[in-house]
């Protein structure tokens, strides 16, 4: 049912059913009903969970204070809402005591988290102190011991909702968005790959929320099992990575051993979580991050594998995103690890690098389902995200490695990032987003060429449109589907595009759609912009064809009307004149004129004549006339191509032959005429010889008749020559070198 045109022969055959649910356009109506209700329900549930989290967070007793690390790793009080602490601003806090218990305080306790503490020993010590602090806070009243200052007692209280700080609320937004996108994708197509995507989205939403909670804690710590956030947060990240591996093993191409790959990925993630829970592994942070990076690499490898099986552009684009995500993660890890030697910066680096990276990854996740919607959006997003990530990573790296001033390093990072942006902008555009490499100029040229050709061969509409689309998008496959579709659309995650093409108007008008698969050899995705552009192009071409047809029809009608009028009016009068002619010569002259008129009108009325048909008629006509004049005709006509003569060619050749025969009949007194004609490779040669008593053709007066022959042969771009032939008679040779015009 479908015609595969020039597709790679080893490509899997096109399965139209794959697209049918989408082609049918039920997409929108699907959202009415349970999906929408469920989505609203999920959104409400998300808000509820958030509310519960906020309640729990607010209930944790805390002392409101902002801290800053100093070069020795001490926690300097930066600001506080407590009136009692105002005079301690700028002083380092050494320890906190309550009920006889004491907890040493440093920057790690108030700013760091176990999750991003690289060193095992530091992490273990931090965990102990966190637990102790949690107990102290539960008692209610704490004594803060600042160095060189008298201790001060402050009551730990529960924070109000307003006490959560701006950074928390700023992160709630992206987290909720990510949650909703995950839910939407899952509900739109409840299937395995959507579930995996939703899982990734939700894990990262929780990560974001966690970062938010962490960033505004003051002097407090989450209680109970949350004191050690390492297993939880590493678990969320590992689950995301494992889900990614699983997802890419089943989509876009279901790999044969996808179960094994998925099981291994999940096993590795589970192992990571178990290790983190036990907490006594040497180099836990390194193991965790290494496992994350490894799973990320596996995901990229799986994508590359899938791409080799079927060059689905989704795989290609995802792989590019994968490189960026992994690369930035590696930079972040390096920065965090390097920050160990810069205690003053370590916590800033850890907090902001992780925050930026998580935000970047979250935005990638949010955009993935909409990749094929708009090339422009995607491009801008990718540029912005990439740029800011690069800038931040560089900034942090400079700060931690070269201990530059924060401002200086930020300025430098931004400048370098901008430089990279300016230098690699085009390359990055093409690589990241898979935008077409077409320049406007090339597009225009292709369009123009096809439009011109279409003008000449409107019947090849479908083939030409196919060719144009092939040139524009270089798809791996281009299929014709006998199916109507309301508009050009992007299908199957941007791997295919369907373009409705009404077949040429003179066929039976069955709707045809062209399906393009795998733009640019599978390297790029189709976007809605592509669909829109294609639709416009196809529409314009269709209009051009319709217009040309209308013009041609109008011309034909006009010609036929003129032919009819000429024939009826002038023909009838010439006939009357002929009957009334006084002498045979006049009668013959009028008959000749009448015949010419008929040839002319017939040529006008018909648009083209096949050479084989024309030859048959020429022969029959000449035979009749020569027989009437008692002259034998020997006729041979051979051609290697039965071309369609244009009106001009037909009428010129008809009249040349008739004129030559008339000449023989009236002047040569011949008994035998031999006509040899052949068309070989576009060259028409015609030889008319008689055995009459004509001699010395150079001396002939070329009156109306032979002058007409010369004129018509010249019109066809040929030459005519008369010669004496042995033993008697005249031979006339006509050669027309280019009867077949080169149309392409």
Partner 1 sequence: MAVKVLILEDNPVARSFLSRVVRESFSDANAITEAGDLESARRHINLTGGDHGLHGVDPFKLILVDLELPDGNGMDLLAELVHYPATKIVTTLYSDDDHLFPALQRGADGYLLKEDRFEVLVEELQKIVRGQPPLSPAIARRLLTHFRDSHVADAQAPDSSLMRATTFTTSRPVPIDKTPDHERLTPRENEVLTYLSKGFTIKEIASLMGIKWFTVNDHIKSIYKKLNVSSRAEAAVLASKQGLV
Binding site residues, partner 1, CB under 8 A: 567-568, 571-572, 575-576, 578-580, 587, 591, 594-595, 598, 602, 605, 610, 612-613, 615-620, 623-624, 628, 635
Tokens 């579930």, residue? 195
Query: Looking at beta carbons only, is 323 or 635 nearer to partner 1?
Result: 635
Shortest distance in whole angstroms from residue 602 CB to partner 1: 6
Query: Looking at beta carbons only, is 40 or 575 nearer to partner 1?
Result: 575
Shortest distance in whole angstroms from residue 620 CB to partner 1: 5
Degrees to nearest 5, angle at CA 306 with 305 and 312: 135
Q: How far apart are CA 473 and CA 534, in angstroms?
A: 10
Shortest distance in whole angstroms from residue 658 CB to partner 1: 13
* Cα dihedral value 389, 392, 393, 396, nearest 10: -170
Shortest distance in whole angstroms from residue 744 CB to partner 1: 22
Query: Looking at beta carbons only, is 591 or 733 nearer to partner 1?
Result: 591
Query: Looking at beta carbons only, is 194 or 601 nearer to partner 1?
Result: 601
Say if residues 229 and 210 touch (Cβ distance below 8 Å): yes
Tokens 């052949």, residue? 678
Q: Which two tokens stand for residue 94?
A: 């050494």
Shortest distance in whole angstroms from residue 5 CB to partner 1: 23
Say if residues 39 and 53 touch (Cβ distance below 8 Å): no
Query: Looking at beta carbons only, is 347 or 618 nearer to partner 1?
Result: 618
Q: How far apart are CA 335 and CA 24, in angstroms?
A: 51
Q: How far apart are CA 477 and CA 515, in angstroms?
A: 8
Query: Looking at beta carbons only, is 569 or 723 nearer to partner 1?
Result: 569
Q: How far apart are CA 463 and CA 481, in angstroms?
A: 14
Shortest distance in whole angstroms from residue 575 CB to partner 1: 6
Say if residues 409 and 402 touch (Cβ distance below 8 Å): yes
Shortest distance in whole angstroms from residue 678 CB to partner 1: 16
Shortest distance in whole angstroms from residue 715 CB to partner 1: 23
Shortest distance in whole angstroms from residue 523 CB to partner 1: 43
Query: Looking at beta carbons only, is 330 or 606 nearer to partner 1?
Result: 606
Q: How far apart are CA 455 and CA 448, in angstroms?
A: 11
Shortest distance in whole angstroms from residue 509 CB to partner 1: 18
Query: Looking at beta carbons only, is 141 or 612 nearer to partner 1?
Result: 612
The DSSP line for 100-160 is TEEEE--HHHHH--GGG---HHHHHHHHHHHHHHHHHHHHSEEEEEETTS--EEEE-EEPP
Shortest distance in whole angstroms from residue 613 CB to partner 1: 7
Say if residues 113 and 125 touch (Cβ distance below 8 Å): no
Q: How far apart are CA 476 and CA 11, in angstroms?
A: 9
Say if residues 91 and 76 touch (Cβ distance below 8 Å): yes
Q: Tell me which residue of 388, 397, 408 sits closest to 332, measured CA to CA.
A: 397
| Peptide bond between residue 252 and the one before it cis (omega within 30 degrees of 0) | yes
Q: How far apart are CA 457 and CA 743, in angstroms?
A: 10
Shortest distance in whole angstroms from residue 426 CB to partner 1: 52
Say if residues 214 and 168 touch (Cβ distance below 8 Å): no
Say if residues 276 and 120 touch (Cβ distance below 8 Å): no
Q: How far apart are CA 94 and CA 149, in angstroms?
A: 10
Say if residues 677 and 686 touch (Cβ distance below 8 Å): yes
Query: Looking at beta carbons only, is 557 or 568 nearer to partner 1?
Result: 568
Say if residues 272 and 291 touch (Cβ distance below 8 Å): yes
Shortest distance in whole angstroms from residue 446 CB to partner 1: 32
Shortest distance in whole angstroms from residue 591 CB to partner 1: 6
Say if residues 601 and 645 touch (Cβ distance below 8 Å): no
Stated as kind and residue range, the H or E segment containing 448 is helix 440-456
Query: Looking at beta carbons only, is 453 or 621 nearer to partner 1?
Result: 621
DSSP 8-state class, residue 340: G
SS3 606: coil
Query: Looking at beta carbons only, is 141 or 641 nearer to partner 1?
Result: 641
Tokens 């102990």, residue? 128
Query: Looking at beta carbons only, is 399 or 594 nearer to partner 1?
Result: 594
Query: Looking at beta carbons only, is 624 or 741 nearer to partner 1?
Result: 624
DSSP 8-state class, residue 474: -
Q: Tell me which residue of 482, 405, 422, 460 sits closest to 3, measured CA to CA.
A: 482
Query: Looking at beta carbons only, is 463 or 578 nearer to partner 1?
Result: 578
């Amino acid at each position: 049912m479908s015609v595969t045109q020039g597709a790679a022969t080893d490509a899997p055959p096109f399965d139209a059913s794959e697209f049918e649910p989408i082609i049918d356009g039920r997409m929108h109506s699907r959202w009415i009903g349970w999906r929408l209700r469920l989505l609203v329900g999920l959104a409400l549930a998300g808000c509820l969970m958030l509310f519960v989290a906020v309640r729990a967070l607010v209930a944790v007793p805390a002392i409101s204070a902002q801290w800053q690390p100093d070069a020795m790793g001490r926690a300097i009080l930066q600001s506080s809402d407590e009136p009692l602490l105002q005079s301690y601003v700028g002083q380092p806090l050494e320890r906190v005591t309550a009920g006889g218990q004491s907890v040493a305080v440093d920057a790690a306790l108030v700013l760091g988290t176990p999750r991003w503490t690289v060193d095992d020993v530091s992490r273990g010590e931090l965990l102990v102190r966190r637990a102790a602090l949690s107990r102290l806070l539960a008692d209610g009243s704490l004594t803060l011991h600042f160095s060189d200052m008298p201790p001060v007692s402050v009551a730990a209280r529960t924070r109000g909702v307003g006490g959560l700080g701006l950074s928390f609320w700023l992160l709630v937004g992206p987290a909720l968005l990510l949650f909703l996108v995950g839910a939407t994708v899952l509900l739109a197509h409840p299937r395995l790959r959507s579930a995996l995507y939703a899982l990734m989205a939700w894990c990262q939403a929780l990560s974001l929320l966690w970062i938010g909670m962490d960033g505004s804690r003051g002097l407090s710590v989450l209680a109970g099992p949350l004191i050690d956030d390492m297993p939880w947060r590493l678990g969320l990240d590992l689950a995301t990575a494992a889900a990614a591996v699983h997802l890419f093993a089943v989509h876009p191409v279901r790999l044969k051993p996808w179960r094994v790959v998925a099981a291994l990925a999940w096993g590795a993630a589970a192992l990571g979580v178990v290790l983190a829970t036990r907490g006594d592994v040497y180099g836990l942070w390194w193991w965790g991050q290494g496992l994350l990076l490894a799973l990320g690499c596996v995901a990229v490898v799986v994508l590359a594998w899938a791409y080799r099986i079927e060059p689905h552009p989704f795989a290609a684009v995802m792989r590019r995103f994968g490189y960026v995500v992994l690369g930035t993660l590696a930079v972040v890890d390096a920065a965090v690890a390097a920050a160990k030697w810069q205690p003053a910066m370590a916590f800033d680096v850890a907090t902001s690098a992780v925050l930026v990276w998580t935000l970047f990854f979250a935005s990638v996740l949010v955009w993935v389902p909409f990749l094929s919607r708009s090339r422009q959006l995607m491009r801008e997003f990718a540029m912005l995200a990439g740029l800011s990530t690069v800038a931040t990573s560089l900034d942090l790296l400079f700060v931690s490695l070269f201990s530059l001033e924060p401002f200086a390093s930020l300025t430098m990072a931004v400048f370098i990032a901008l430089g990279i942006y300016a230098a690699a902008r085009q390359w990055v555009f093409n690589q990241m987003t898979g935008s077409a490499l077409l320049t406007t100029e090339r597009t225009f040229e292709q369009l123009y060429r096809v439009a011109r050709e279409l003008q000449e061969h409107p019947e090849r509409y479908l083939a030409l449109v196919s060719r144009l689309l092939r040139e524009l998008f270089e798809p791996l496959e281009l299929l014709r589907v006998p199916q109507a579709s309301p508009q050009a659309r992007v299908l199957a995650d941007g791997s295919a595009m369907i373009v409705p093409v009404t077949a040429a108007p003179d066929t039976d008008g069955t709707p045809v759609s062209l399906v393009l698969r795998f733009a640019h050899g599978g390297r790029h995705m189709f976007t809605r912009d592509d669909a829109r552009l294609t639709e416009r192009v196809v529409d314009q071409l269709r209009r051009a064809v319709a217009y040309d047809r209308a013009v041609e029809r109008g011309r034909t009608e006009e010609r036929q009307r003129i032919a009819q009028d000429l024939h009826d009016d002038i023909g009838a009068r010439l006939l009357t004149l002929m009957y009334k002619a006084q002498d045979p010569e006049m009668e013959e002259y009028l008959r000749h004129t009448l015949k010419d008129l008929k040839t002319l009108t017939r040529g006008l009325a018909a648009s083209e004549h096949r050479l084989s048909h024309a030859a048959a008629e020429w022969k029959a006509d000449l035979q009749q006339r020569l027989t009437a004049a008692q002259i034998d005709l020997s006729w041979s006509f051979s051609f290697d191509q039965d071309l369609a003569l244009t009106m001009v060619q037909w009428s010129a050749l008809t009249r040349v032959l008739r004129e030559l025969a008339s000449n023989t009949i009236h002047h040569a007194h011949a008994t035998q005429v031999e006509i040899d004609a052949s068309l070989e490779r576009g060259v028409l040669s015609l030889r008319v010889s008689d055995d009459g008593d004509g001699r010395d053709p150079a001396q002939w007066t070329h009156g109306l008749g032979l002058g007409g022959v010369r004129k018509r042969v010249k019109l066809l771009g040929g030459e005519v020559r008369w010669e004496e032939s042995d033993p008697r008679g005249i031979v006339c040779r006509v050669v027309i070198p280019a009867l077949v015009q080169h149309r392409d």
